[in-house]
Amino acid sequence: MKWFLILWAGPIAFLGSWYGLSYYDMSFGFFMLTRETHDLVFQIYGQILGIPPEDLPPLVLRAIVVDSIFVLAILAFRRRKQIMAWWQARRQSSPAVLARDDSLSSAP
């Protein structure tokens, strides 16, 4: 599971870093981080997909969000026993729950 998360988060972090640095043209002397490369990459992908290049970033973001929801759901499903134990311990130690339990036990 650790490798699954690493192989999921690694490309997302790489893509996000490249996008942010190239969008703001913080190239540090690297051609791949220039704004011209940024525009060229999205122009090429736009031509391949047949859509305007400015429509691609929201689509990529939406895909990352959907994939992240699936990955987190898989992680939650695999650790559901630990999550339920944590949730029960949290509910039992909450002052509001303790006060509510005391008021229920003192009812006639």
Q: Is the dihedral of CA 10, 28, 22, 47 positive or negative?
A: negative
Are the beta carbons of 23 and 38 closer than 8 angstroms? yes
pLDDT tens figures, 20-38 = 999 999 989 889 999 999 9
pLDDT tens figures, 50-106 = 999 999 999 999 999 999 999 999 988 888 888 888 888 888 887 665 555 555 555
Report the chain's C-alpha Rg in angstroms: 24
Residue 94 has φ and ψ, to the nearest 5°, of: -75, 130
Are the beta carbons of 46 and 52 closer than 8 angstroms? yes
pLDDT value for 65: 96
pLDDT tens figures, 1-25 = 788 889 999 999 999 999 999 999 9
